[in-house]
Structure 1
Amino acid sequence: MRRIYVASSWRNSYQPDLVAHLRMVGHQVYDFRNPFNGIPGFAWSEIDPQWQAWSAEEYRRLLTTSPIAARGFVNDKRAMEWADTCVLVLPCGRSAHLEAGWFCGQGKRCIILTRDGEEPELMALLATDICVSVQEVLEALK
């Protein structure tokens, strides 16, 4: 069985179901919504409810100085190092794509789960597999 890092977005309603399916068939799965340490997953609103109005300088300062951001980063980075496989669940944001790129750069397995209506992305060719259903993901992991 694999150690899987599921990279996605808080806005992705498919992510919890995929985590459950992967666990149901015996894989160990890191869920960024519920990290191993028991502390709820990182959200910018924990730092500042007005985070969407930050200037670029505020973003950089708070990203590099906030203990909340540091905790979230360490949780996710340690889980990435622990995992042997990344499953990128589309749609998702920039952080998830950076995470998937890190896996590809480390020579680790990276599977993309996409659906009809997602914008095509050329660099998806870096991934080990591109799947269009949860069943295909499960097959690719065998």
Structure 2
Amino acid sequence: MTAQDTLRPVFTETFPSTMDTGILYVSIPYRTCGHLCCCGCGHEVITPISPAQWSIAYDGENVSLTPSIGNWALPCRSHYWIRHGHVQWSRHYSAAEIAQNRERDRHLLAQNTEEHRPRPLARLRRHLQSWRR
């Protein structure tokens, strides 16, 4: 497989059993995105949408995810951003930086678990419903 430089959004309720290269699957009901790792290694990458994990922006054509995708548990250890449907590669993190980021992420997730705020996705859901009409 080859590295991807773009990802096309596909809005779906559930992900297919086999994901296609170059597609960013977005499930609003399950608050999750999924794609094949952009480095071309073929591993599936799942990004939960929540205040403490990833947020999604849809401009009517392309999707952006924030923060970056750090595939540090995969053998490739790829690290990239998805901005307006384009893959922007980032630098590789050291083991210490990865550990620091994981600790920060655990802290944010614990902090936001009680404060579940669905407002940003609710706005996106309304936008998608009006767009599909």
Q: Which has the higher helix share?
A: 1
Q: TM-score, normalised by structure 1?
A: 0.24
TM-score (norm 2): 0.25
Bigger proportion of residues as strand: 2
